[in-house]
Structure 1
Amino acid sequence: MNVAIEDLHVGYAGRDVVSGVRLIAAAGETAGLVGPNGSGKSTVLRTVYRHLRPTAGRVLLAGTDLRTLTPGQTARRVAALPQERGSDFELTVHEVVAMGRMPYQRAFAGEGRADREAVADAL
């Protein structure tokens, strides 16, 4: 799935901290954000996975603006595992991969055969 960031601006407390970011990553490509500490790399990524809302510009997934998707639709297309987040829970790799199936499950339904197969295929 291709990702396009078009003229992205993100702000905190009424002040832009990121402005004019443009990036295109075609399906199958690997893209990297490089810059010094405090340059906005994490802010851009937080906007891509909808933790932050842009003040201007847009993020497109396969040509669809993220803002037009419901949270559930976004969760089926975008996932993030930020390195700076600590956890009080010790999780196995299998458990972390299985979390990626949650957007496809009904509330409180738990893991089914298709979920177990998808996790096994991914691993």
Structure 2
Amino acid sequence: MIGATHARDIVLMDRDIVMAIIGMSAWGGIVRYIMLRQKKPIMEEIRACLLQVIVSCFSGMLLSIFVLAHDANDDRLLVIAGLGGVFAGPIITLLGRKFAAIIENFSPGGKEAETAQTLKTSE
């Protein structure tokens, strides 16, 4: 059972577990590439596959860190890493929308400044 309660736990994690997470994420990226494959020249296909694997590894690592923070077991961690690799595009799109909504609704002065600004504009 792997548990991560602090960032240092994730950074100091066993190298074999990290390599297994990256491997499962990369495998998910290869599966995703095969599912969406189009006929192109061989060099373009290799480039597209490598780009998909890179994005999938990033997405798989993000999901794995999230699962580690919730004290998942090894099997669940690897399954989530693989699924994160396959569904990298939709996951990154959803995260981008969440961050955009957070930034859009962010007010530097907090609620008091927002209320004061609303009162000024209504006068």
Q: Same fold (TM over 0.5)?
A: no
Highest CA radius of gyration, 1 or 2?
2
- The structure with the greater share of residues assigned to helix is 2
- The structure with the greater share of residues assigned to strand is 1
Query: Which has the bigger relative contact order, CA under 8 A and spacing at least 6?
Result: 2
Q: What is the TM-score normalised by the length of structure 1? A: 0.26
Q: What is the TM-score normalised by the length of structure 2? A: 0.26
